[in-house]
Amino acid sequence: MKLFIDTANIEDIREMASYGIIKGVTTNPSLIAREGRKLEDVIQEIVKLVDGPISAEVKEASAEEMIAQARELAKIHKNIVVKIPMTWEGIKAVSVLSKEGIKTNVTLCFSVSQAQLAMEAGASFVSPFLGRMDDAGFDSEKLINDIVILRDNYGYATEIIAASIRSLHHVEISALAGSDIATIPTKVLKAMIKHPLTDKGLKIFADAAK
């Protein structure tokens, strides 16, 4: 499973990319707003740090308006993936953009039916939101497992990005389900390396080396 970083913070992206494990970046309007910067400016910097898919989200609007926004975003860099919301207008936009070769990531996916619509429209990526699914009292593990089964049953080319990741549990259920990608906030990425027995073992070896 490829690891993407789910942030618009340049320093976090620079640090995590330096470990050689980050294959892409996802942003959303909330993450961009947190940085207090313009989407285009942030994206221009990110493409210099990570050579992989970089998701930048359009504002929800009519299909025609989202297509126009998407064409502008796609001009910034070849790695730009346009994030499109899970609405009928969004699906219409994805159908047009996929034929133009513009990469898309259909976001806010909470069901197998929604994932199927994104796949049928030719989306490059679809993003099931695990954390928000759990917050609402539903089963995120079933969601990611079922969307992988859907993809495998029909051989869709759409890659699955497990998103809204809040914990190592979310990372691990996504990997074991066979998700192509998980997009992970910095805090959870940093937690992936931690284990108390590793810390204990490091101390034992360091003491012995003295």
7 binds ligand E4P (CB under 6 A): no
CA 13 to chain centre: 14
- Point out which residues pair with 105 in neighbouring strands: 83, 125
Spatial separation of the C-alpha atoms in residues 6 and 60, rounded to whole Å: 20
| Least distance CB 19 / ligand E4P (angstroms) | 20
203: annotated active-site residue: no
Closer residue to ligand E4P, CB minimum distance, 40 or 208: 40
6 binds ligand E4P (CB under 6 A): yes
Q: Which of 2, 75, 83, 187 is catalytic?
A: 83
28 binds ligand E4P (CB under 6 A): yes
| Least distance CB 187 / ligand E4P (angstroms) | 11
174 binds ligand E4P (CB under 6 A): no
Angular region, 188: left φ>0, alpha ψ -120 to 50, beta rest: alpha
Closer residue to ligand E4P, CB minimum distance, 28 or 179: 28
Q: Can you read off the two tokens belonging to residue 156?
A: 């869709």
CB distance 116 to 150 below 8 Å: yes
Among 110, 125, 129, 156, the residue binding ligand E4P under the rule CB under 6 A is 129
Spatial separation of the C-alpha atoms in residues 6 and 164, rounded to whole Å: 9
26 binds ligand E4P (CB under 6 A): yes
132 binds ligand E4P (CB under 6 A): yes
Spatial separation of the C-alpha atoms in residues 82 and 92, rounded to whole Å: 14
Spatial separation of the C-alpha atoms in residues 198 and 15, rounded to whole Å: 22
Spatial separation of the C-alpha atoms in residues 68 and 97, rounded to whole Å: 10
Among 127, 140, 158, 179, the residue binding ligand E4P under the rule CB under 6 A is 127
Residues that bind ligand E4P in the complex, under the rule CB under 6 A: 6, 26, 28, 107, 127, 129, 131-132, 163-164, 183
Active site residues: 83
